[in-house]
Each structure stands twice: as structure tokens, then as C-alpha cells.
Amino acid sequence: MKRDDVNKFPMKDTTLSALEFEEKEYRLNNGDNLYFVVNPKGNKRWELRYKKPSTGKWSFLGLGAYPEVGSKWARQKADEARKLISQGIDPVVQKAEERLATLEQGAYTFKQLAEEFYLTKTWTPDTTARNVGALNNHVMPAMGKRDYRNITKQEWHDLFQEIQKKLNPRTGKPIIETGQRVTALVREIYDYAEVIGKATYNPITNLHKYLKKHESNGMKHVSDEELPALLRAIDKYPASDTRIGLKLLSILFSRPSELREAKWEEFDLAKGIWLIPASRMKMKKEHKVPLATQALSLLQELKQLTSHSPFLFPSRSNKGQPKSDTIFIEALKRMGYGGKQNPHGFRHIASTTLNNQFSDKPQVVEACLAHTKNGVKGTYDKATHFEERKTMMQWYADHLEKLADDSVIHFKRA
């Protein structure tokens, strides 16, 4: 429909949608200075012609595009603008001020603050995924768009309590530990805001005292009496790569992620050394692991299975990625040790055994575990005790081999 064919105002939506564009933009007064504008590209919009309160000059106020803004809504928006004008308020100025306030508010949303905070961290990819995922799942839906300066301590406390009441879909148990981790992360984010001058106080301070405490299962491990049976059960595990992984965990007692994400390029099998780069270590310090003969034999066997990938334990669906972080946990569950042994628990077993056997060399044991010395001693003692660790770790591998041998009678330690 051409504009010259319009003979009735206000125009109906059938007329508005049928209006054709011309070489130049044109306006049609739809009544009370509410104009319908059609531009040469066929785009249509609403405008209100009004006198500016400050100067008395005529001007136009955009009310939105058509058909997103229909005729009824356009009239409502025009009426709201006229009320402002009658009060001596310029709707264009009001709109600009509201837009500025929105931008300023956006600069102080908790989501934006958290994203700034992430840039300051040197987390591993796994840690980043875990921490950011926890915040996105449990915090951002409620607090992401809020001005973090106005969120009260009580509101945060209520949220953290609600998080701790949620159930893990896999175990059916409350996610108390996740609630604690999220609380710690939010406290760190506010600490960051205080340091850079974007917050005057931290509302998360002391909230952890009033939340439920998580009983950690991270170092869950079998007793001395149960260890030989566990080692024999691992020997019989049907999946070859997982079996080798569990045996390496028990012999090398590295952190599970350090082994699971390990690449072949980190190993010098000829020299019997595994060099874990600083980027993958918890304390961000390179760690050289001496490989016992049993570990070397297992690695040679594993190389026949996974040398096609850069990873020792490649994902089945993507050879360029390591296996899931649940691979060893699920294997222990299938073996009947889900409630008794955690992959991280092999470190506890090794620490206890080595400290008992080498009670005069605690610093060497700590070096085997890649623990960082604290205080003055840590500042001046830079020794890695590598040669002593070679001897210690070979003794430990031999010790586990004897325990796994069911032809040997094992006596309980007094």
C-alpha cells in the first residue's frame, strides 16, 4: 500500500504492515503528533513530535521499531512521554540519563566483577572449569546481574545455605562441599574488589563459621590390613590402561590430575625420570619424579596402548584430550572400594608408610610428595633430594610389590 492510499487515522496494523517504502524516508501522522516512519530500506519505526521544555523547539523522540512496538504500545509510550513533558522533563534527556545509569550499574554487577577476578588467577584448566562452573550454576542466576555493592551479608548467607541444601544427582547427598567452595570463591572476589577500590567492605567475611562443615573424603584410604587385597584387585582390573593408571598412582603417589593429564613428552624412560611442568603442579613449581623399575615397566606397557596420543590416558572420544577426572574414582567403585579408597588416598598411604620407614628423613618424604616447605626453612632449603628420593621410591615400589604377592605372609605393624 502506498501512503497516498491511506485514508483513515489512526492506522490499523494491517495498514501499517502493508505500507510500501519509497526512495526517500517519509512520516505519517497517526494522530496527536505520533508519527509512523518508513525508510527506503523498508524499516519502520515510531516517533513522537514534541516541544522541548527547555527551548520550546520542536523535536522527535524515538519510541521503537515496528512491528516489535505495535500501535497500541506506541500510543502508551507516547502518553508516558507527554506526562514527562507536562512536568517540564525532556523525555530524550530522561532516556539518556536512564541509559547512563544502566551502564554504570552494569559496571558493578557481580558477574562482571567475577570475570575481572578470573583474569587475575593462574588456575589449571580443570580448576578453572570447576570454579567458574560452580559459580555459574549456583551463584550467577541469583546474583550475577545484581550490584555487588548492595548485596547484603544476610542475602549471601541465605544463598549459601540454599546451595548446601541442594542434592548431588549422582549421590543424592547435599552438596555441602560445593557450598563451602563457592563461599570461599565469592569471598576472594570481594577481597579483589576491596584491593582495587571497587568495594569498601567484604560481606562474606566470617560467613563460613555459620555454614555446615564438609567432612572431606579426599584422602580416603584403606587400612594397612586391607592394602594387599586392594593391590591384588587392581592387578585384576580388566581395562588395561585404567589398571596401569591405578598401579602408577599407587607406586608414584602423584596427585591424580598430575598423572591423568600427563603427556608422553614429560617422560624420559631411558633416564627413568618424569618431569612435571610447573603449570600442572599445585604449587606451580616444576617437579622431577624418579621412576622405579616397576613404574618404567608399566609405562612401557602403556606406551603400546596409547602412544598414538600425546596423553598417557587419552579420552576415548577425543585422543587430543585426557580422560575424565572420574576415571580412577569409578574404577575403584567397580572394584568395591568406592567407600574405602579415593585416588588421592594413595598419597596418604605413601606418606604414612614412608614416614614410618624413613623417620629420620622427613624432608625427603616431603620432597617425594612435592610438598613445599614453609617459613624460613622453605626459603633457604632448595634441595630436591633427588638421589635420596630415587632410593626411597624404589624401596616403596618394592614394598607394594611384596604386599601384592599373595604367596607372602604379611604381619600387622606393631
Distance of CA 370 to the CA centre of its chain: 25
Looking up residue 140, the CATH number of its domain turns out to be: 1.10.150.130
Q: Per residue in 145-154, pLDDT tens? A: 899 999 999 9
Looking up residue 8, the CATH number of its domain turns out to be: 3.30.160.390
Cα–Cα distance, 50 to 82 (Å, whole number): 8
Looking up residue 349, the CATH number of its domain turns out to be: 1.10.443.10
- Are 171 and 307 in a shared domain? no
Of 154, 178, 210, the position where a domain reaches its end is 210
- Are 165 and 266 in a shared domain? no
In a domain, 220, yes or no: no
What average pLDDT does the chain have? 87
pTM over 0.75: no
- Are 388 and 266 in a shared domain? yes
Domain count, the chain: 3
* pLDDT the model gives residue 42: 86
Tell me the residue range of the domain where 134 lies: 110-210
* pLDDT the model gives residue 412: 46
Query: Residues 394-407: what's their mean pLDDT?
Result: 90
Q: Select the more confidently predicted residue: 71 or 249.
A: 249
Q: What phi and psi, each to the nearest 5 degrees, are found at residue 126? A: -65, -45
- Are 334 and 394 in a shared domain? yes
- Are 238 and 361 in a shared domain? yes
Q: Is 61 helix (H, G, I), strand (E, B) or coil?
A: strand
In a domain, 324, yes or no: yes
* pLDDT the model gives residue 226: 94
Q: What phi and psi, each to the nearest 5 degrees, are found at residue 65? A: -85, 150
In a domain, 215, yes or no: no
The 10 Å Cβ neighbour count of residue 179 is 24
Of 156, 176, 210, the position where a domain reaches its end is 210
* pLDDT the model gives residue 404: 92
Of 104, 134, 161, the position where a domain reaches its end is 104
Handedness of CA 351, 352, 355, 357 (dihedral sign): negative
- Are 60 and 115 in a shared domain? no
* pLDDT the model gives residue 211: 82
pLDDT at 172 over 60: yes
Pairing mode of beta strands 58-66, 273-276: unpaired
DSSP designation for 218: T
